[in-house]
Structure 1
Amino acid sequence: MAIANFPAVLQPVIQQGYLARAFQDSLQSRLGFRSVADRMDFPARIGQTITDTRRGLLAPATTPLNPSSNTNFDNGMSPTNWSVEQYTLSIDQYGNTMDLNQVTEGVGIANQFVENAQVLGINARQTLDRLARNALFGGVQSGVGGYLGGNTRVTTTLTAAGTTVAVDDIRGFQNILSDEGQVVAVSSSNGMTVTVGGDAYTLVGVAADATNTTTAPNGISGTLTFSSNVTVADGTAGQAVVAATAPLVLRPNGRSTTLGLLAGGQKDSDGNVVTGDLLTIQAMLAALSALRDNNVPTLEGGVYHCYLDNAQLLGLFRDDDFKLLYRGQYGSDTYQTGQIFDLLGIRFIPTTEAPQQASLGAGAIHRAIICGQGALIEGDYANMGNHYAGMLDGGELTHVDDVCMITRPALDRLAQIIAQSWSWIGGFALPTDLTADTTIIPTATNSYLKRGVVIESLGASA
């Protein structure tokens, strides 16, 4: 550790390598959304944005060749090509810093110095986890939306049939993939098929509200404009609005929208009193079936990861099917700790970082997400640590898990103030899988994003 330029009074209380270990321990987390991401280096000197291209496959050739056409140089065959799709990864710089005045801190200098490193490490971990979470659920810049995108509801009832409908969240409706696999804005020449209520319409325009009134976490309220009139029945407040290429969002008991979730004691549309739309094993099985139908690869351990908050997990523990599975096993770790456990090919990972939404109709909305491999890509700037080489002049650079911690010696006139900072340059992207259609995988869905499923439900109270 380069401590020669630190004040002499501080040098005896600093141990070689100890600060680096404190920072590294704070960064490691097996419970974060960041652990879902596949990591890649973002090369230096290519700009701030990189566009990756994913190629598709050829449809199986199940039609026999015609012997009478087996002539000339082509033997009766016509050349075919595989399709492509593209996604964009943009990088930005993130960081935080703390100052420490060694004189005013007095005898507490050693503890304060180490505690700053610990707090900065936790701050870096939470920041990157939250960026990963926001990308998964909400999408990224110049993308097709996140795993909550393309799935919303009408917020204002039409007074008469018209082309423009107000919705709670426009994410997932703004861009589509062109025939060439490129992300382009929705327009009259690049329409998107959207089901409003019970009928399908062609979306040709999207506009955000001047004042955001969305109820969705990090959502954007706005209007959708279609090429033909939407009926009043379809344009009634509360009706579901779902893009044809939207990711799968599941809700207990087949509720069509978030607003449709019911609390215990309420009556459904048939007049039946419900026990409450809590997370169920049946919803988990439906999500698992969708991932397997799309042949989504599993993560470490041969399982899919499910991130959910504790209130949603408590609801699962109250599900009758879950109780049946664990009948006679109340002494198991699953019941004793309620922490990480595997069930039905899913690893349940409670987290406090799950997106929270205040009360909406029947209560607060909770969202679990089940992910497979490749659901998220993290790009880390390859030149991150090299920038500081030879520039700290007696300070220290610790490079852990693609995050840099910079400890700067006192540069003020009285040589009192030390700066500790962390910095990360990178970004997240959501790769699409449009080319894995039914010609390649007969059971595949039409979603752009196939490697994750969101389950919305109410939460259980203790």
Structure 2
Amino acid sequence: MSIANFPASLQPIIQQGFLARRFQTGLQSKLGFRTIADRMTFPGRIGQAITETRRGLKAPVKVAADPSQNAGLDNGMTPSSWAVEQYSLGLGLYRDTIDLNMVSEGVGIASQFLANAEAGGKQALATLDLNARDTLYFGSDTPGVLDVGGYLGGNTSVSSALSSASASLHVDDIRGFVNSVTPVGIVAAVSPLNPLVVYVNGTAYNCIGVVSDGSQNVSTAPSGMSGTLQFSANVATTDGVAGAPVIAFSAPAVIRPNGRRTTAGLTAGDTLSFKAVQGAVTKLRRNAVPTIDGLYNCHLSDEQLQGLFDDGQFQNMFRGAYQSREFRQGEVFELMGVRFIPTTEAPQQVLNGVEIQRAIVVGKGALIEGDYVDTGYSDIPDVNAGLKEMHDGICMITRPPLDRLGQIISQSWYWIGGFALPTDVTANPSIISTATNSALKRAVVIESL
């Protein structure tokens, strides 16, 4: 019996003949969402979640004081204070491993040890990047962490038309409606004591509760959850029509070509345009969102990039510039305050027979990454614990053989941390005149075909 008792998926590497004596690198994703995140260290011995607090500003004084009131010990003034807002960041454990028989590995075509290490490292980086992406678009799913949903939250449509006026309305996706920021800056569940203003087909209603469909989920949105919104008053049948937009007062901005009001409203020709990108930049600048190294990042799919290259306004900017780097390379380039970064991981979906693409234009501070400070730590000396390496917050471990023949080692990695979306509710129009009412202001999603 052969000593190379490899799993079936690895048996081709022990073929005889002219098989090349090296492993070639396989296809991999174009990542980049983790680079958006501001890094912070999650301290030890404080539990599994941390609440961070942001300090707001005080509104400017626009009216001069009445001189007749400038009297008494307080000079006619009433003390005021600045507002605060809080967000939570929770820890999660992410890990994987692979075993290697060092004796059997010797009959392979190349070093499987190095290949395992490289594959594990790329898997770890991809895992963190996709977690960053999912938090950015959809919000955190870490147990015990409350947030207001991601940058796709609070923006959905009616899924079941009302036959008569009702205080209950079934919608395609409840993310962004479950929680809201209270007047004192705390994220809490929507309730009669913490209502959320929601615009149904353009009419304002007070949402006082949300019921998820749970296992009966029929949402068409990526990673979405369908459910029912409960209102303090009946929604009119003229508003509760199937497909009508349902948008929270504090929802992040979502831009669609040609003024489409919902994702399902996108039709042929609604491809990404330079006008839409500039619209996203305008919204970020209105909210005074700082740039990332001087520019806003636009993470977009290659399909959206193709639509951008086909856009007439974009082409006019490069008319005659046949040797421009943008058209020759079609990779990362900078234009009009935006850094365009193609990725294979932008959320997509097929809806009504068309493929929806989602770019996101991001400024600084949109995402926070918390790396647990004790990752890789041990109270026991590592003399017999194997090789342990830390790389970019990820711990890579090679465990020595524990079997009787001393042949099988394990190569593992793990990361302990999480991502969070800070809110900017206190940066309202009374503080920044051009600011919007969005709770999440530091990124804008662009949906297109």
Structure 1, gaps ≥5 residues long: 1-25, 264-275
Alignment equivalent of 1:234, drawn from 213, 234, 239: 239
1:31 Cα offset (Å): 4.4
**Closer, same or farther in 2 for the Cα pair 1:322/1:61, shift >3 Å?**
same
How far the C-alpha of 1:217 sits from its partner, in A, is 1.1
What is the SS of the residue equivalent to 2:357?
Answer: strand
The answer to whether residue 168 in structure 2 is matched with residue 164 in structure 1 is yes
- 1:395-441 CA-to-partner distances (Å, cap 9, x unmatched) read 11110111110011111111111100111000000000000011110
Is the alpha carbon distance of 1:137 and 1:115 closer, same or farther for their aligned partners in structure 2, counting shifts above 3 Å? same
TM-score for the superposition, normalised by structure 2: 0.90
Partner secondary structure for residue 142 of structure 1: coil
Contact preservation (8 Å) 1:355, 1:367 = yes
What secondary structure is seen at the aligned counterpart in 2 of 1:435?
coil
Identify if the C-alpha distance between structure 1 residues 109 and 50 changes in structure 2 by more than 3 Å, giving closer, same or farther.
farther
Q: 1:389 deviation in Å?
A: 5.8
2:49 is the alignment partner of 1:45? no
CA distance in 2, matches of 1:387, 1:195: 53
Matched with 2:324 is 332
- Deviation of 1:337 (Å): 1.3
Helix, strand or coil at the partner of 2:107: helix
**Alpha-carbon distance in 2 for matches of 1:208, 1:391:** 48
Answering whether residue 424 of structure 2 is matched by residue 433 of structure 1, we say: yes
Give the distance between the partners of 2:148 and 2:55, measured in 1 at CA.
Answer: 18
Q: Give the structure 1 partner of residue 271 of structure 2.
A: 278
Aligned to 2:222: 217
Q: Which residue of 2 aligns with 1:197?
A: 201
The CA distance in 1 between the partners of 2:108 and 2:56, in whole Å, is 60
Range that drifts further, 228-237 or 86-95: 228-237
In structure 2, C-alpha distance between the alignment counterparts of 1:221 and 1:104, rounded to whole Å = 51
Pair 1:419 & 2:418 matched: no
Alpha-carbon distance in 1 for matches of 2:322, 2:402 = 60
Residue 330 of structure 1 and its aligned partner are, at CA, apart by 2.6
Q: CA deviation at 1:107?
A: 2.9
Letter in 1 for 2:46: I
Cα 1:400–1:337 shift into 2, 3 Å: same
In structure 1, the residue matched to 2:365 is 374
Q: Partner of 1:6 in structure 2? A: none
Q: Which residue of 1 aligns with 2:281?
A: 288
CA distance in 2, matches of 1:179, 1:389: 48
Q: Which TM-score applies when normalising by structure 1?
A: 0.88
Q: Which residue of 2 aligns with 1:11?
A: none
- Secondary structure (helix, strand or coil) at the match of 2:103 reads helix
Shift in Å, 1:109: 8.3
Residue identity opposite 2:418 in structure 1:
G
Matched position secondary structure for 1:238: coil
Amino acid at match of 2:431: I
Distance in 1, matches of 2:357 and 2:426, equals 31
**d(CA) in 2 for partners of 1:431, 1:392:** 42
Aligned residue number for residue 316 of structure 1: 308
Structure 2: gaps (5+ residues)? 1-25
Runs ≥4 residues deviating over 3 A: none
Q: Distance between the aligned counterparts of 1:389 and 1:453, measured in 2?
A: 47
Aligned residues: 417
Q: Which runs of structure 2 are paired with 1:377-392 in the superposition (5 Å)?
A: 377-387=368-378, 390-391=381-382
Q: Is the counterpart of residue 344 in structure 1 residue 345 in structure 2?
A: no
Give the alignment of 1:8-23 within 5 angstroms: none
